[in-house]
Chains A and B, each alone.
Chain A
Amino acid sequence: MGLETKPVSTLHETTSYNVEDFPVPTGREEEWRFTPLSRLKGLHNGTAAGSGAVAVDVDAAPEVTVETVSRDDARLGRAYVPADRVSAQAYASFEKATVITVPRATAASRPTVVNVRGAGGGAAYGHILVTLEPMAEAVLVLDHRGTAVYADNVEFVVGDGAILKVVSLQDWDDDAVHVSHHHAALGRDATFRSFAVTLGGDLVRLSPSVSYTAPGGDADLTGLYFVDAGQHLEHRLLVDHTVPNCRSNVTYKGALQGDGAHAVWIGDVIIRAEAEGTDTYELNRNLILTDGARADSVPNLEILTGEVAGAGHASASGRIDDEHLFYLQARGIPHEEARRLVVHGFFAQLLERIEVPEIRERVLAAVEAELAR
């Protein structure tokens, strides 16, 4: 039978620590066809000179341990195996890794902030491992700023019954290139909340993924992006349900404005035959504010069992509803203000999910600034 000869999923077929296991992308591959390879500055084909400076500095809660370790530390790379060439390149090239650990049954008293600052130069590579031991609880902020050509992998190991809330801000300068994989491995009854905010950079390609090691895992992946003229912001999500009775929800919303603004959102969910009782939903919405912007939205779903609690996805792209504007303008609100309010409303529901008030304020202000451009 021809049907059984292929890997179970047609999404994400290869994973390896070895760069050579991934051919140099040509742009025709499914996973690369949306990405403008010429703007990756050589991260994808080994020509990027590794002379860049990216500093990782952690402002940790007192209960949390932070270590800087060398690349041969045995804890690294156990939760996540690179799934594409750039990710493997980052894994093969980073020199120091940051390891953040929250001890068993400890609740961190305040958010731990990881400042990632790019200071220009050539390519730089990074690796971060965040481990929550069983029953631990923490909020983590990853704050990317400055300019860089940066490829990194971030592993989140969420132990049994632990709760991890992550906000990742991609707030780069206009010329930055950032290719990043964020992988969360969830233990029994673990809770993972991830919020990605991507605003700055010439090209940002963020690939958050989730796997489950035991039943009861619960993941919410939320995202917000604002794409300006000439920017390429790409989010590629993968939730792989391999064990029974886990839950996932993916909600990404983006606004696009200006010539050549390009948003790509790929949401892959696999429900394997063993993963009975899975409950999953994915949603992507794009608000196209001006001509010349382009939004690609692909929510893929592969389901190998009939015993699902719920499975679905939805994607919608369009411009601001004229009726909304009319409603507001009929009440005396000027056009520009009405437009601003509608975009606010579009993002408001998501912003509420950001755990850290300062970050919420900052994102709100950034959206305001984008709208004023």
Chain B
Amino acid sequence: MTVTDRPELEGLGNYKFGWADSDAAGSAARRGLSEEVVRDISALKNEPEWMLDLRLKGLRLFGRKPLPTWGSDLSAIDFENIKYFVRSTEKQAASWDELPADIKSTYDKLGIPEAEKQRLIAGVAAQYESEVVYHKIREDLEEKGVIFVDTDTGLREHEELFKEYFGSVIPVGDNKFAALNTATWSGGSFIYVPPNVTVEIPLQAYFRINTENMGQFERTLIIVDENSYVHYVEGCTAPIYSSDSLHSAVVEIIVKKGARCRYTTIQNWSNNVYNLVTKRAVAYEGATMEWIDGNIGSKVTMKYPAVYLMGEHAKGETLSVAFAGEGQHQDAGAKMVHLAPKTSSTIVSKSVARGGGRTSYRGLVQIEEGAAGSASTVKCDALLVDQISRSDTYPYVDVREDDVSMGHEATVSKVSEDQLFYLMSRGLGEDEAMAMIVRGFVEPIARELPMEYALELNRLIELQMEGAVG
């Protein structure tokens, strides 16, 4: 059953990024994790001693920390079967043509070079397996002092800045997967925006896993200096394999006084990827941090982007949309920690579960003593389109200050007969009508996305909803 009669959608399965390319590097890679693997990764990258020490500390803590007992069932992850580091190409390319043909064709299929050509993005990074294979930033931004490189290069070329902030927002032992990432990280983006610089067009990164049983551990560090603005967009895909891969990123963001950072993710991993990500930002006086988080793919996602509001009038915002189809569990949410007076936060979460999938909103709003005059609102809506799907809401609220306002509201609803009837009486098919209702449901979030991503999201919804009715 097709959702629309648009010919470009025909012949596509429910996941259109599921092809696998030739994989010499991946099949040669070693499985399992040991001190030797960690030392090898560090040596391959010629890292300074302190980074190796941190990695080893991460490895020790990873071994010691228990798997989370809440959220999704993670017991099926076989850490010994994962490939922790896969080098796909020897050299980072400065133009798409320098890339090996199979990797270039991957990104062509994903449409990244085209977007860059059309100047829809100000800089692009493409990570294939463990490392960033292509990197480019617009010349004028570079002249203004904006740094946008892959994280390995960031460590090599900006070690002082890097050392100051790396691990400052998410400590090595924050949780099991942050420790694992610290031990094995590779790739990701390193961004520094100097004071009073506005980067008008988004910087974009594209993450692709190609190898089976791959573990991708990118590490992103973004520093937005005073009164600056940057918007960073990331997208993720992987091939469909019968056994599982692991994606465990750490993203640290520092938003200084008066600055604003927006971080948009459209996660569309294939349904054999465990996506266990730690994302956290600190926002200082008058700063604004916005997470826009779309979770459509993956087998299991556990991701709770956090904002620590450190300075007066700091503002945090999370807009989150999740889809869970058959066999998927999206355990997503947000975390807002108010540590300073007059801070504000907003969480809006929308989720749709279908075909036996499960969506969970899990959030924390914490207002610490002294954060007087702070306000927080949380709103989560879940839409259920059939009888076999599941939706959970676990909102934690901890208020330790009297002069605050905190509100949480959740609704769970099914698609109403009235809405369907209204649309169908105007000549729409049932599945078209259903897709339209779902699109309308997530519209408040879709409109915050860059245009091409909003279109992409709508198309993904149509694919997800395909066959949802009847």
Q: Once the chains bind, are A317 and B392 in contact (CB under 8 Å)?
A: no
- Contact partner of B412 (CB less than 8 A), chosen from A2, A301, A316, is A301
Stretch with Cβ within 8 A of A (4 or more), from B144-152, B169-177, B398-406: B398-406
Q: Once the chains bind, are B399 and A5 in contact (CB under 8 Å)?
A: no
Q: Once the chains bind, are B387 and A293 in contact (CB under 8 Å)?
A: no
Q: Once the chains bind, are B369 and A292 in contact (CB under 8 Å)?
A: yes
Q: Once the chains bind, are B407 and A290 in contact (CB under 8 Å)?
A: no
Q: Once the chains bind, are B404 and A317 in contact (CB under 8 Å)?
A: yes
Distance of B290 from chain A, by nearest CB (Å): 24
What residues of B have a CB within 8 angstroms of the CB of A291 in the complex?
Answer: 369, 401-403
Q: Once the chains bind, are A5 and B73 in contact (CB under 8 Å)?
A: yes
- Interface 1/0s, chain A 286-298, versus B by CB < 8 A? 1011111111111
Q: Once the chains bind, are A276 and B392 in contact (CB under 8 Å)?
A: no
What residues of B have a CB within 8 angstroms of the CB of A273 in the complex?
Answer: 387-388
What residues of B have a CB within 8 angstroms of the CB of A1 in the complex?
Answer: 327
Q: Once the chains bind, are A316 and B385 in contact (CB under 8 Å)?
A: no
Nearest CB in chain B to that of A9: its residue: B392
What residues of B have a CB within 8 angstroms of the CB of A50 in the complex?
Answer: none
Interface residues of A in 312-326 (CB under 8 A from B): 312-319
Residue A304 at the chain B interface, CB threshold 8 Å: yes
Q: Once the chains bind, are A2 and B393 in contact (CB under 8 Å)?
A: no
Residue B397 at the chain A interface, CB threshold 8 Å: yes
Distance of A180 from chain B, by nearest CB (Å): 24
Interface residues of A in 16-48 (CB under 8 A from B): 30
- Interface 1/0s, chain A 164-191, versus B by CB < 8 A? 0000000000000000000000000000
Residue B329 at the chain A interface, CB threshold 8 Å: yes
Q: Once the chains bind, are B387 and A313 in contact (CB under 8 Å)?
A: no
- Distance, CA A340 to CA B73, complexed state (A): 49
What residues of B have a CB within 8 angstroms of the CB of A310 in the complex?
Answer: 413
Residue A371 at the chain B interface, CB threshold 8 Å: no
What residues of B have a CB within 8 angstroms of the CB of A301 in the complex?
Answer: 391-393, 410, 412
- Contact partner of A3 (CB less than 8 A), chosen from B73, B397, B409, B410, is B73
Interface residues of chain B: helix, strand, loop or mixed (majority): strand
Residue B230 at the chain A interface, CB threshold 8 Å: no
Q: Which A positions have Cβ atoms within 8 angstroms of B?
A: 1-3, 5-6, 10, 30, 273, 276, 286, 288-308, 310-319
- Distance, CA A303 to CA B401, complexed state (A): 32
What residues of A have a CB within 8 angstroms of the CB of B118 in the complex?
Answer: none
Distance of B222 from chain A, by nearest CB (Å): 32
Distance of A65 from chain B, by nearest CB (Å): 43
- Distance, CA A304 to CA B356, complexed state (A): 9
Q: Which B positions have Cβ atoms within 8 angstroms of A?
A: 70, 72-76, 299-300, 327, 329, 358, 369, 382, 384-414
- Distance, CA A127 to CA B398, complexed state (A): 33
- Distance, CA A84 to CA B410, complexed state (A): 28
Nearest CB in chain B to that of A320: its residue: B402
What residues of A have a CB within 8 angstroms of the CB of B76 in the complex?
Answer: 2, 5
Nearest CB in chain A to that of B327: its residue: A1
- Distance, CA A315 to CA B378, complexed state (A): 9
- 17 A–B contacts from the bound complex (CB under 8 Å): A2-B299, A276-B387, A288-B402, A298-B394, A299-B395, A301-B410, A305-B388, A306-B389, A308-B384, A311-B413, A312-B412, A314-B410, A315-B397, A316-B405, A316-B408, A317-B397, A318-B407
Q: Once the chains bind, are B327 and A303 in contact (CB under 8 Å)?
A: no
- Contact partner of B414 (CB less than 8 A), chosen from A290, A308, A313, A316, is A308
- Distance, CA A303 to CA B72, complexed state (A): 15
What residues of B have a CB within 8 angstroms of the CB of A5 in the complex?
Answer: 73, 75-76
Interface centre among B393, B403, B405, by most chain A C-beta atoms within 10 angstroms, is: B393
Interface centre among A301, A305, A314, by most chain B C-beta atoms within 10 angstroms, is: A301
What residues of B have a CB within 8 angstroms of the CB of A289 in the complex?
Answer: 402
- Distance, CA A3 to CA B73, complexed state (A): 6
Nearest CB in chain A to that of B359: its residue: A303
Nearest CB in chain A to that of B394: its residue: A300
- Distance, CA A312 to CA B381, complexed state (A): 9
